[in-house]
Structure 1
Amino acid sequence: MNNIKSPLFLNGKNAELIETFDSETIISKYKALNIEVARFFKTPNISLYKCQKTGYRFYYPFEIVGDARFYEDLSKNKSNYYSERWEHKRALNYIEKHDLVLEIGSGFGAFLNMLKASNIQSVGLELNPYAAEVCAKNGLTVKNELIENEAKTNKGVYNVVCSFQVLEHITNVHSFIKASIDALKINGKLIIGVPNNNPYLFVNDKYHTLNLPPHHAGLWDKKALKALETVFSIQLERMEFEPLNVNYSYFIHFQITNNKSKTLRFLLRAFNKMSPGLLKFILCKFIKGRNVLAVFKKI
């Protein structure tokens, strides 16, 4: 009998099992990226569960998340891993010049450098010692600290607490989000950027390598982010989705070759050959992209 509880809504019903994954397949996928992950997998399969209250999906067992060595290997094998992102630029629209900003998971300082260029005071938290060292050399204020510890010593200090492509790596999501809110002033902004796990990214691409453990611990979408209002004292003010055209080439190639529907694969292939510009316009008009930015207010 399933007695797995949601790590987001701690007092809710048992989570629902929705999918299983073969560990050896995942290990081989990462090996193709020159990253060794066999040490994380102690069972032949891993599971994906869904929180029945929020819709948040999470992998189990929780111990299969990446460590400092994993992220150092990843950053060295993917040169653009900590680069500037769409959500960085969008988040700047919600930050005022006088704000004190805390960024959780600063990487090599892409967003902190953007804040610095705008004369906005900021502090970063980064657990990857390799990335934190680079930030320090570039004159950025970065602490090797968990958000839970930062919130205890600097409770209610920040105007903005933000994280980009971080929350999907966290297993103890309730503690992480609660601490992020605790570090905020009343009416302060909590800004979260995560992959948008809508159907096109996940349903037709079950073994999308970097969407699996040990890289990702959970899957977020519009419903799960909106549901945070029911768990914490925050109010959703804005939600933005990255335009599909940013990653359209990946999207259309994958759909044409891997969509579960043979009929849809045929129609997309034909339409893409006859009128690729029109197909792109239509799809980008109605399908959201692969990342989502949510802006909450502490109440």
Structure 2
Amino acid sequence: MEKILSPLTQQPTVVKVEDFSVAQTISQYEEIGVDVKRFFENLNTVQLYKCTKTNYRFYHPFSIIGDADFYKDLSINRKSYYSTRWEHNKILSTLNPKEKVLEIGSGFGAFLSLLKSKSIQAEGLELNPEAIKKCQLEGLQIHDMLIDEFTVNHKDSHDVVCFFQVLEHITNVHDFLQSALVALKPNGKLIIGVPNNNPYLFVNDKYHTLNLPPHHAGLWNEKSLKALEKVFSVKLETVYYEPLGRSYTAFLTAYIKNSSFIYSKMLIAVNKIAPKVLKRILCKFINGRNIVVVFRKIKNG
């Protein structure tokens, strides 16, 4: 019997959380025009496990995670996927021109372009040939390589290492994060932006299409992100949540759909009578769909 290890601690301290239907997962992707059948051959279910030491949850088997063709299909069907995001502007406001920044997974250069506009020295890592070409045409410094390759000649080289909407796609998260820290100067900032799963995207939206494999390999939240302090030589400094108001309509639709019968009827009724009041209440007590954390690399760590 296969021994399943936590991708974060690399230890067998894991428990199964629940099963996901392959048929329903495939159906969800079909609704957005993406065929994912090839990732689930001979499978009826996908398992979600939790690392008991860190609360990090991950899908299994790892073979179901997307490839280059999948992301090509996704970019065609989801034009806004590589656009400027809330977290880009949030973090941009905290940086200064004296800091040297490395972005892992730069896509088509949305964040690199913002950094360039503020005269912040930055470079990125990206594997998508079309994205690399666009970055080069815009005069952005981009490298076609993985982070472990980059660090061979760039140890302790950057004041900031960041990645947005990347970590949730990685299966071997331990080695990925360790390599990112190699590129970071002692006392430098590691900045991570991921979807906020509480416990799933939009609270109980278990089958939210792009939160499933092959798109996502793992599910992160504040608790599992904070737990990185237990695994790596880092200290958490700041946690930012995207305001719920930015995705409120999608949230409310999912919240009603995935709530109990009585609670969903109550939400529908209140939304019909006093939609502004309901929005104000929900946005006050529920965090938005993305979370960004800032760690400081401990000296000599």
Q: 1:10 to 1:200 in 2, by over 3 A?
A: closer
Q: Is the 8 A contact 1:101 1:158 kept in 2?
A: yes
Q: Is the 8 A contact 1:3 1:14 kept in 2?
A: no
Q: In the alignment, which residue of structure 2 is the partner of 1:269?
A: 268
* Uncovered stretches (5+) of structure 2, i.e. residues with no partner: none
Report the Cα distance in structure 2 between the residues aligned to 1:108 and 1:102, rounded to whole angstroms: 15
Deviation at 1:2, TM superposition (A): 7.2
Q: 1:50 to 1:173 in 2, by over 3 A?
A: same
Aligned length: 297
Deviation at 1:32, TM superposition (A): 1.9
* Uncovered stretches (5+) of structure 1, i.e. residues with no partner: none
Q: Is the 8 A contact 2:202 2:255 kept in 1?
A: no
Structure 1 range deviating more: 288-297 or 193-202: 193-202
Report the Cα distance in structure 2 between the residues aligned to 1:248 and 1:2, rounded to whole angstroms: 42
Report the Cα distance in structure 2 between the residues aligned to 1:263 and 1:185, rounded to whole angstroms: 53
Question: Secondary structure at 1:161's aligned position in 2?
Answer: strand
Deviation at 1:95, TM superposition (A): 1.7
Which amino acid letter does the alignment assign opposite residue 25 of structure 1?
Q
Question: Secondary structure at 2:152's aligned position in 1?
Answer: helix
Report the Cα distance in structure 2 between the residues aligned to 1:294 and 1:14, rounded to whole angstroms: 25
Report the Cα distance in structure 2 between the residues aligned to 1:202 and 1:17, rounded to whole angstroms: 22
Deviation at 1:14, TM superposition (A): 3.0
Q: In the alignment, which residue of structure 1 is the partner of 2:250?
A: 250
Question: Secondary structure at 1:106's aligned position in 2?
Answer: coil
Identity, % of aligned positions? 55
Give CA-to-partner distance per residue, 1:67-113, whole Å, 9 cap, x none: 11111111111110000001001111332211110000101100000
Q: In the alignment, which residue of structure 1 is the partner of 2:281?
A: 282
Q: 1:279 to 1:260 in 2, by over 3 A?
A: closer
Report the Cα distance in structure 1 between the residues aligned to 2:26 and 2:258, rounded to whole angstroms: 24
Q: In the alignment, which residue of structure 2 is the partner of 1:37?
A: 36
Q: In the alignment, which residue of structure 2 is the partner of 1:118?
A: 118
Report the Cα distance in structure 1 between the residues aligned to 2:142 and 2:28, rounded to whole angstroms: 33
Q: 1:78 to 1:218 in 2, by over 3 A?
A: same
Deviation at 1:200, TM superposition (A): 6.0
Q: 1:181 to 1:217 in 2, by over 3 A?
A: same
Q: In the alignment, which residue of structure 1 is the partner of 2:295?
A: 296
Report the Cα distance in structure 2 between the residues aligned to 1:133 and 1:19, rounded to whole angstroms: 41
Report the Cα distance in structure 2 between the residues aligned to 1:284 and 1:235, rounded to whole angstroms: 29
Report the Cα distance in structure 2 between the residues aligned to 1:116 and 1:63, rounded to whole angstroms: 37
Report the Cα distance in structure 2 between the residues aligned to 1:35 and 1:211, rounded to whole angstroms: 14
Report the Cα distance in structure 2 between the residues aligned to 1:19 and 1:202, rounded to whole angstroms: 18
Cα RMSD (Å) of the superposition? Answer: 1.3
Q: In the alignment, which residue of structure 1 is the partner of 2:52?
A: 52
Question: Secondary structure at 1:194's aligned position in 2?
Answer: strand
Which amino acid letter does the alignment assign opposite residue 270 of structure 1?
A
Which aligned runs of 4 or more in structure 1 are off by greater than 4 angstroms? none
Report the Cα distance in structure 1 between the residues aligned to 2:66 and 2:264, rounded to whole angstroms: 35
Q: Is the 8 A contact 1:2 1:14 kept in 2?
A: no
Deviation at 1:144, TM superposition (A): 1.0
User: How is 1:232-251 mapped onto 2 (pairs within 5 angstroms)?
Assistant: 232-251=232-251
Q: In the alignment, which residue of structure 2 is the partner of 1:186?
A: 186
Q: Is the 8 A contact 2:195 2:201 kept in 1?
A: no
Which amino acid letter does the alignment assign opposite residue 94 of structure 2?
Y
Report the Cα distance in structure 2 between the residues aligned to 1:281 and 1:242, rounded to whole angstroms: 15
Q: Is the 8 A contact 1:125 1:145 kept in 2?
A: yes
Report the Cα distance in structure 1 between the residues aligned to 2:224 and 2:235, rounded to whole angstroms: 14
Report the Cα distance in structure 1 between the residues aligned to 2:2 and 2:250, rounded to whole angstroms: 37
Q: In the alignment, which residue of structure 2 is the partner of 1:106?
A: 106
Deviation at 1:255, TM superposition (A): 2.0
Question: Secondary structure at 1:199's aligned position in 2?
Answer: coil
Q: In the alignment, which residue of structure 2 is the partner of 1:24?
A: 23
Q: In the alignment, which residue of structure 2 is the partner of 1:164?
A: 164
Which amino acid letter does the alignment assign opposite residue 166 of structure 2?
V
TM-score by length of 2: 0.95
Q: Is the 8 A contact 2:98 2:120 kept in 1?
A: yes
Q: In the alignment, which residue of structure 1 is the partner of 2:139?
A: 139
Structure 1 range deviating more: 29-38 or 244-253: 29-38
